[in-house]
């Protein structure tokens, strides 16, 4: 096995409830013959609930858990055996900070974390690092490369990378990378926008994928109960407060409705206050974070899935809802229209429009189970065609293999 065929995955937090798509990608690559080492800056706060994530946590090395004596030894090793690259990279990091990050403490932390990542990669003879998200994880992978570590690639999801591309130094990260992955055509267009034209050929599309647990699921009948579910972090970008406004309007009209909000996050208090203020406790359920199986059951129990996001990449949970045979209500944002086709497999509404969201929810609630099942099946077929993890991992594996010109070994 060549060193390029042993790759490292590097993520800010891993495993995490919202990062199941990374776990699927890693496992699919391993099934294709790749050896994958997992690295992360830190574990997810609050831990994980899925058995599969617990297994991944045991396989992951965390930088924040490195003992002080080991960290000192790594820095000493860099200085004694690699002093020129050490100080050259430190100067590069300072320049990167002046041009982009503008946070000296954060930049220094990233630099020292890169020393650790580079050391780990060297000890394990890793030939390539793949980072997820163009944020700190890619900054560290870039610094590690400059320290003499392996080259890197990274997957950009959005919306954070597209909200502050200059602060994140996205152009420099693309320039330094071996290749860059976008998860949608929209994402690729934004990387074209913020990268040099000379680097466009580096930018590839690899969709997030679903595994057999979803793709081989036989959709259950649409329930008669007028129940809708929204799965997502309770945050500004997901639009849950707008969804609650729409729900309050429908309830005031006399529409019978039960809304389930699955997830947790920084806006939980505001959401709870809105529910109390508008007397929605009988109509809205907050479940908090759930395991993957519990999330699937919540989607199956609903007539439709709704996610009125203001900013996105391409939500994996929409793929999951389609795979489970449920139509989707969402917004004309980022890569969502590449998956949700208005009035075919769901409904798309302008982001931020409570009026249009009310109309779409009313139509979904009043549609027959047969109509909803037909729409859900069309969504399922679209996911089967575009988001099978084995197919997408094979694409990604080919880009890894191209780095050495050799296919991955079985």
- DSSP string over 58-75: HHEEEGGGS-HHHHHHHH
Do 275 and 315 belong together in one domain? yes
Judge if 219 and 187 occupy the same domain: no
Domain count along the chain? 2
Is residue 193 included in any domain, yes or no?
A: yes
Q: What is the mean pLDDT of the chain?
A: 95
Which pLDDT belongs to residue 389? 97
Torsions phi, psi for 343 (to 5 deg): 65, 10
Kindly state whether residues 162 and 225 are assigned to the same domain: no
Burial class (CB in 10 A: 0-12, 13-18, 19+), 80: exposed
Q: Is residue 147 domain-resident?
A: yes
367 and 395 inside one domain: no
Tell me the helices (H) and strands (E) count for the chain, helix number first.
17, 13
**Could you read off the pLDDT of 24-67 as tens digits, one per residue?**
999 999 999 999 999 999 998 877 878 899 999 999 999 999 99
For residues 191 and 58, state if they share a domain.
yes
In a domain, 37, yes or no: yes
The answer to the question of residue 409 being in a domain is no
CATH of the domain at 371: 3.40.50.2000
d(CA 4, CA 408): 9
Residues 332 and 393 in one domain: no
pLDDT at 217: 85
Q: What is the pLDDT of residue 190?
A: 97
The Cα diameter of the chain in Å comes to 74
Residues 6+ apart with CB under 8 A from 46: 289
Distance CA 299, CA 70 (A): 46
Nearest to 116 by CA among 166, 162, 56, 73: 73
pLDDT at 404: 64
Residues spanned by the domain of 155: 3-209+388-402
Residue 76 scores a pLDDT above 50: yes
pLDDT reported for residue 369? 97
Is 408 among the domain residues?
no
Residue 141 lies in a domain: yes
State how far the Cα of 236 lies from the Cα of 244, in Å rounded to an integer: 13
Task: State the Cα–Cα distance between residues 341 and 383, nearest whole angstrom.
Answer: 12
What tokens does 81 get?
Answer: 């055996």
Evaluate if residue 366 carries a pLDDT over 60: yes
**What are the DSSP E strand ranges found in 292-406?**
304-306, 328-331, 346-349
Instruction: Note the pLDDT tens digit of each residue in 237-257.
Output: 999 999 999 999 999 999 999
Distance in angstroms between the alpha carbons of the first and the last residue of the chain: 10
Whether 243 and 114 map to the same domain: the answer is no
Task: State yes or no: pLDDT of 405 exceeds 60.
Answer: no
Residue 407 domain flag: no
* 193 and 216 assigned to the same domain: no
- Looking at the structure, do residues 203 and 273 belong to the same domain, yes or no? no
Answering whether pTM is above 0.85, one says: yes
Query: Does 244 map to a domain?
Result: yes
For residues 7 and 102, state if they share a domain. Answer: yes
Res 145 pLDDT > 90: yes
| 398 and 380 inside one domain | no
Q: What is the DSSP letter of 134?
A: T
* DSSP codes of every residue in 172-238: HHHHHSSEEEESSHHHHHHHHHHS-GGGGGGEEE----B-HHHHTPPPPPPPSS-EEEEES-SSGGG
Mean pLDDT over residues 199-207, rounded?
Answer: 98
Same domain, 204 and 303: no
């Amino acid at each position: 096995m060549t060193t390029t065929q042993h790759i490292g995955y590097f993520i800010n937090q891993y495993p995490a409830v919202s990062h199941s798509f990374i776990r699927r990608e890693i496992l699919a690559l391993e099934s294709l013959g790749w050896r994958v080492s997992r690295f992360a800056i830190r574990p997810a706060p609050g831990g994980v609930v899925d058995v599969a994530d617990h297994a991944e946590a045991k396989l992951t090395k965390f930088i924040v858990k490195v003992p002080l004596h080991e960290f000192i030894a790594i820095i000493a090793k860099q200085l004694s055996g690699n002093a020129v690259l050490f100080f050259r990279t430190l100067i590069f990091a300072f320049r990167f900070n002046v041009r982009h990050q503008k946070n000296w403490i954060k930049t220094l932390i990233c630099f020292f974390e890169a020393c650790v990542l580079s050391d780990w990669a060297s000890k394990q003879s890793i030939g390539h690092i793949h980072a997820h998200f163009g944020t700190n994880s890619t900054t560290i992978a870039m610094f590690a490369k400059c320290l003499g570590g392996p080259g890197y690639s990274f997957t950009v999801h959005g919306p954070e990378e597209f909200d502050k591309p200059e602060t994140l130094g996205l152009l420099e990260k693309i320039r330094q990378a071996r290749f860059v992955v976008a998860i949608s055509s929209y994402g690729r267009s934004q990387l074209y926008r913020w990268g040099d034209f000379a680097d466009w050929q580096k930018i590839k599309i690899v969709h997030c994928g679903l595994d057999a647990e979803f793709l081989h699921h036989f959709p259950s009948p649409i329930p008669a109960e007028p129940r809708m579910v929204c799965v997502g972090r309770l945050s500004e970008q997901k639009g849950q407060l707008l969804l609650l406004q729409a729900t309050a309007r429908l309830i005031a009209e006399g529409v019978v409705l039960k809304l389930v909000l699955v997830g947790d996050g920084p806006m939980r208090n505001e959401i709870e206050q809105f529910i109390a203020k508008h007397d929605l406790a009988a109509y809205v359920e907050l479940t908090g974070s759930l395991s993957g199986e519990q999330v699937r059951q919540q989607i199956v129990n609903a007539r439709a899935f709704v996610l009125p996001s203001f900013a996105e990449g391409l939500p994996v949970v929409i793929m999951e809802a389609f795979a489970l045979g449920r139509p989707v209500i969402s917004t004309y944002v980022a890569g969502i229209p590449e998956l949700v086709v208005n009035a075919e497999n769901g409904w798309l509404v302008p982001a931020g429009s409570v009026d249009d969201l009310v109309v779409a929810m009313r139509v979904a609630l009043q549609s027959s189970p047969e109509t909803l099942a037909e729409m859900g099946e069309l969504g399922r077929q679209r996911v089967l065609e575009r988001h099978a993890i084995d197919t997408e991992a094979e694409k990604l594996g080919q880009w890894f293999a191209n780095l050495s010109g050799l296919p991955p070994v079985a």
